[in-house]
Amino acid sequence: MNTTFSRILALVSAVLIGVSISLTGSGFALAQDPPEAPVATPDPSLATRFALNPVGENGASYFDDVEVLAGTSVTLEASLLNFGDSPVNLRLYLTTATSGANGGYVAGPRDAELHGSATWITYPDQEMTLQPGETVIIPFTVNVPAGTAPGQYISSLVAETEDTFPIPGVDLIDQRIRFAMAVGILVPGEMHQSFTLGEPIMNRENIVVPITNTGNYLVRPAGTMELTDSEGEVVFTSPVELGSVYAGLTTDIAVRLPVALEPGDYTLLLTLEDSDSGATAAIQSATLTVMSSERPAQFTLGEYAIEPNAEEIAFANVTVTLDNAGQQIAAANVTLIVSRDGKLVEKFPLASSQVLVNGENVLSARYIPATDWEAGTYTFEIVVESMSPEGQPQAELLNVPLEAEIIIP
C-alpha cells in the first residue's frame, strides 16, 4: 500500500529569539537568545534551506516591539527566501508563542489552537513552492483589540516544509524543517516587570522550579541556586541564567544535578534578579525530600485511542494519556508494542527521554509499520520505562495491553 508517510516525523525548528539550553554535566542551567542570523536547518549539508525575516526592521531577524495602539491596526511584511539548491514546498501558518524551559522563545506546534496575541494577526495559512534564489514578500495585518492593556505580546509566524526528509544515519525518523519568526507587539503605556517562583520539585537527579512572569514585559532572571543537606553542608551550587520569560507566561527552571542524591531531606536556596528592571524573587528555605524509592507506585493508563486516518489506511493516529499520581519522572521512554496476528511487528517509540509530570501526560503520534500495513489484525500494548541520566533503562513503570485493534483485510 502506498503511503505519504514512511516513518516518524520529527520537527526541526530554527527559532529567532530564545533557545533553552541545559548543561547537564555540571548542573549549570542556561537559556539564552540564539545568534542574530540562524539558518533554517541545523544540517548545512541539506539542499533545503530557507529563511523568514521581517521587512523594514533594520536588519533584525524578528519583529521587535512594534508599537500598536489598542483599537488600531498595522500592516507588516515578511520576506521568505529560498537560499538552498533545490525547490522547496512550504506551508505558512500562524501559531502561539510560549516561553520554553529555562526561558527562551518557543513557537507553538502546527494546527494548534491560537491564543493571546496570535488571534490578532491575519497571516495567510497557505502553501507555496519557492525556486532556488526566489524571494516572496508576505504582508500580514495586526489588529489590536480596543481596551487591550499596555504591555508586550509575542506570537509566531512559521514557514515549514510540506515534504519530509530523512536524517542521515537514523532509520526510524524523518524530519520537517521549520523556520519560526517572532512577532513582538508593544501596546504603549506603563511597563512593569515582575516574576514569582512556584513550589520546587526535586528527585535524585533534577530540580524543577516553576517561574511566572507577573508583569507586562519580558524578564531574563539570573542568580544562584544552592542545595544543602540535613547537616547544613552544601552539596550543590550553580549559577542560573534564564532566557526570556514572556509576560503572563509560566515555564520551568530545570536543573540536572551532576550526581544522584542520597535519600533524605535537603534545603533549597534560589535567588534571581532581572538586571534590566531590578525585579527579584527568591526561595529562601524550601525543604525537599528525596525518597528511598524513586519508582512511583500510582502510575496508570488513562484514556487512549488508536484509530485509522481513513477507510483506506495510510497511518494510525495514536493518543495515550499516562496518569502519574506520584512524583515527576525526569526521563522516561514510552513504547508502543505492535503485533499482527499475535506476532511482534515492532517496538515503536512514542516518546524518548520524556518528562512525565505529576498528573496527566498526553502523548500523540502517527504510526505506520516499518514494513507498511499488511493483511491481519494489529494489536497494541504500552510500555513505560524510567531512564537514567546516562540514557539507560532503570525501571518498568507500566506495561499494559490496549483494548484497541486495527484490522487490515
What mean pLDDT is predicted for residues 266-279? 96
The whole-chain average pLDDT of the chain stands at 83
Determine the pLDDT at residue 169. 63
In this structure, the number of other CB atoms found within 10 A of the CB of residue 87 comes to: 14
Question: Domain 195-290 classified CATH 2.60.40.10?
Answer: yes
Q: If DSSP codes are grouped into helix, strand and coil, which group holds residue 253?
A: strand
pLDDT score for 143: 97
Cα–Cα dist 347/196, whole Å? 43
Nearest CA to 52 among 103, 60, 153?
A: 60
Give CA–CA dist 347/381, Å, rounded: 10
pLDDT score recorded for residue 48 = 78
Give ∠ CA 192-195-197 in degrees, rounded to 5.
170
What pLDDT score does 165 carry?
Answer: 77
According to CATH, what is the number of the domain 299-408?
2.60.40.10
As annotated, the residues of the chain forming the CATH 2.60.40.10 domain(s) are 8-187, 195-290, 299-408
pLDDT band of residue 7 (cuts 50, 70, 90) is very low
pLDDT at 35: 36
For residue 23, the model assigns a pLDDT of: 25
Distance CA 155, CA 114 (A): 9
Quick one: pLDDT band at residue 175, thresholds 50, 70, 90?
confident
Question: For the chain, how many helices (H) and strands (E)?
Answer: 0, 29
Nearest-angstrom CA–CA distance, 130 and 85: 11
Residue 21 has pLDDT above 90, yes or no: no
329-367 confidence digits (pLDDT tens):
888 899 999 999 999 999 999 988 888 888 889 998 899
Query: Which region among 19-23, 139-143, 268-272 has the lowest average model confidence (pLDDT)?
Result: 19-23
Q: What is the pLDDT of residues 307-332, one digit of tens each?
A: 998 888 989 999 999 998 877 888 88
Beta bridge partners of 76: 140
What's the pLDDT at 33? Answer: 39
Report the topology of domain 8-187.
Immunoglobulin-like (2.60.40)
Using CA of residue 33, residue 248, residue 154, residue 210, what is the dihedral sign?
A: positive
In this model, does residue 171 exceed pLDDT 70?
A: no
Which residues in 366-380 are b (16+ Cβ under 10 Å) and which e? Answer: ebbbeeebeebebbb
Enumerate residues 6+ apart whose C-beta is below 8 A from 154.
97, 105, 117, 182, 183, 184, 185, 246
